[in-house]
Amino acid sequence: MNISLLLQLVSVLLVANTVLSKRSQPLNPTELAVADAVKDIFVLAGQSNMAGRGGVEGGKWDGKVPPECRSDPCILRLSAELKWEEAHEPLHADIDKGKKCGVGPGMAFANEIRANGSVGLVGLVPCAVGGTRIGEWAKGTKLYTEMVIRASESMREGGTIRAMLWYQGESDTVIKEDAEEYQGKMEKLIMDLRSDLGLPSLLVIQVALASGEGKYIETVRKAQLQLDLPNVKCVDAKGLALEADKLHLTTNSQNQSKCLVLVCYLHIFPLRTWDL
């Protein structure tokens, strides 16, 4: 076997063992009640604008949580330890480690989807990690393996994954080859994820870039907007206000991006027309 392939396989197995070992502790009564409830689950993946940088400046979060992002006992998050808990900002604090997280689109989306007809619990599965390129999410990588494990775990005790919300690509705007290869890699990621989760029609809603780290922003945006797979939708964040770094969405813009994703989702699933 090729040495590099062997090392990659060992790395993946170590990740899987580490993540799954976090599930060894028994559930307490509160966790058992949560586990027994039916959840509408949404996987949140991508890089920093999904992880949330709203209100972050100079490496510090201002701690301001707008009403749209308020906590709700009926909105849960799957923690890094693979346990359901009441969700709150910053949603990705224990996932996007080593970086200061702030407000992202996840909590605002969850509040809106409940207000617009979702019944029962909403389960959010944060997976986004800032500064990552699309190639770092390919099948066999640490990020992909952790995402599949977390998504699978979220369904283990009841619930259905309704969609993956994806906001990523800023880091693929630096090198021309990365930008040009974006569409093919994204399509492969979606097909692999659907296959590994056993969800061949999994809805994927991706956000087209509002910014980027390099000069190939339009190349990546074009790839995102013209991606043509069944049940893959794209909403456009272009024009939304950015933080002073000209890369990350402001808190207000995160709320606006939530609205874009919500409109797309409700267009596909108006209120509760899906089969339970």
User: What are the φ and ψ backbone dihedral angles of 18, each rounded to 5 degrees?
Assistant: -65, -45
CA 250 – CA 256 distance, rounded (Å): 10
User: What are the φ and ψ backbone dihedral angles of 102, each rounded to 5 degrees?
Assistant: -135, -140
What residues are paired with 167 via a beta bridge?
46
CA 167 – CA 266 distance, rounded (Å): 18
CA 242 – CA 247 distance, rounded (Å): 6
**Coil, strand or helix: which one is 28?**
coil
**Coil, strand or helix: which one is 223?**
helix
Say if CB 48 and CB 96 are below 8 A apart: yes
CA 31 – CA 268 distance, rounded (Å): 32
CA 266 – CA 117 distance, rounded (Å): 10
The angle formed by the CA atoms of residues 137, 163 and 33, to the nearest 5 degrees, is 105
Name the residue among 233, 229, 130, 242 with its Cα closest to residue 189: 229
**Residues tagged active-site:** 48, 245, 248
